[in-house]
């Protein structure tokens, strides 16, 4: 199966992480939407009722260096290029269109993204993506993709003639928001291995996805959800 994906110049592992999170395992749980004590007509009530937020509003709710603490450097968001990537060992992707197979169906019109590196010897990274739409559309889009992901615990992608082996396993998501998904991904390209954690939380009309070094994801997920959902 050949699909079109957006790639950057940051290297094979980062390419797969940022543009091919699909076709991997997940743990998903859904809970009834909590009742809101917000006054009818207030901004919080509007969000709980499902009014999508603008991309500008989402951008203002992204984590920043002040939220993260010392030692973090923001990574510039590079312009994307489109390259052919061959996905092997994941038949479930054939049921999705090309955009969905590469995470494209998460490209809701209202979105904002950021990424940071942390200054220590291992130079770990953490990225955050925010999306907004009606709760129903966010939930349906995430569930459709993650249902396909559960069928592919191991697969391979070919990018520019280089092979990347990917293995995934479910992880228990924290009890945040209305719906939660979480997974651990291991990328192997030649002699280089990388482990990435990815956790997605839907809270009302906002979807928060935090990916990167497992320790950094666990450290900053709660504050990312709190800031994004403004609860």
Higher pLDDT, 26 or 184: 184
Domains of the chain: 11-29+49-229 (3.40.1000.70)
Strand partners, 217: none
User: Is 121 buried (19+), middle (13-18) or exposed (0-12) by CB count in 10 A?
Assistant: exposed
Determine the pLDDT at residue 5.
Answer: 36
Determine the pLDDT at residue 150.
Answer: 67
pLDDT tops 80 at residue 22: no
pLDDT tops 80 at residue 212: yes
Model confidence at 90, in pLDDT bands (50, 70, 90)? confident
Determine the pLDDT at residue 225.
Answer: 97
pLDDT tops 80 at residue 70: yes
Q: Are 153 and 23 in contact (CB under 8 A)?
A: no
Determine the pLDDT at residue 109.
Answer: 87
Mean local confidence (pLDDT), 97-123: 70
* 118-176 pLDDT per residue, tens: 987 666 899 999 999 999 999 988 887 777 766 788 888 887 778 889 888 889 999 99
Would you give the DSSP letter of residue 42? S
Least confident of 32-41, 86-95, 128-137: 32-41
Determine the pLDDT at residue 9.
Answer: 23
User: Is 156 buried (19+), middle (13-18) or exposed (0-12) by CB count in 10 A?
Assistant: middle
pLDDT tops 90 at residue 192: no
Residues 6+ apart with CB under 8 A from 136: 50
Higher pLDDT, 88 or 28: 88
Determine the pLDDT at residue 115.
Answer: 94
pTM: 0.78
Mean local confidence (pLDDT), 13-28: 40
């Amino acid at each position: 199966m050949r699909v079109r994906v957006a790639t950057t110049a940051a290297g094979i592992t980062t390419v797969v992480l940022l543009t091919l999170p699909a076709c991997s395992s997940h743990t998903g749980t859904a809970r009834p939407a909590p009742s809101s004590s917000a006054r009818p007509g207030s901004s919080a009530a509007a969000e709980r009722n499902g009014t999508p937020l603008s991309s500008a509003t989402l951008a203002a709710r992204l984590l920043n260096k002040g939220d993260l603490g010392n030692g973090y450097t923001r990574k510039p968001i590079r312009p994307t290029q489109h390259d052919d990537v061959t996905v092997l060992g994941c038949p479930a992707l054939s049921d999705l269109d090309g955009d969905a197979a590469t995470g494209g169906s998460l490209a809701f019109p209202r979105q904002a993204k950021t990424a940071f590196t942390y200054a220590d010897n291992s130079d770990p990274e953490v990225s955050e993506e925010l999306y907004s739409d009606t709760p129903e559309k966010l939930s349906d889009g995430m569930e459709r993709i993650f249902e396909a992901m559960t069928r592919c615990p191991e697969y391979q992608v070919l990018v520019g003639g280089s092979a990347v082996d990917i293995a995934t396993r479910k992880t228990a998501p924290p009890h945040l928001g209305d719906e939660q998904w979480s997974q651990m991904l291991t990328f192997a390209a030649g002699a280089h291995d990388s482990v990435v954690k990815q956790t997605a939380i839907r809270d009302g009309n906002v979807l928060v996805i935090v990916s990167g070094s497992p320790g950094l994801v666990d450290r900053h997920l709660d504050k990312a959800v709190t800031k994004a959902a403004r609860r």
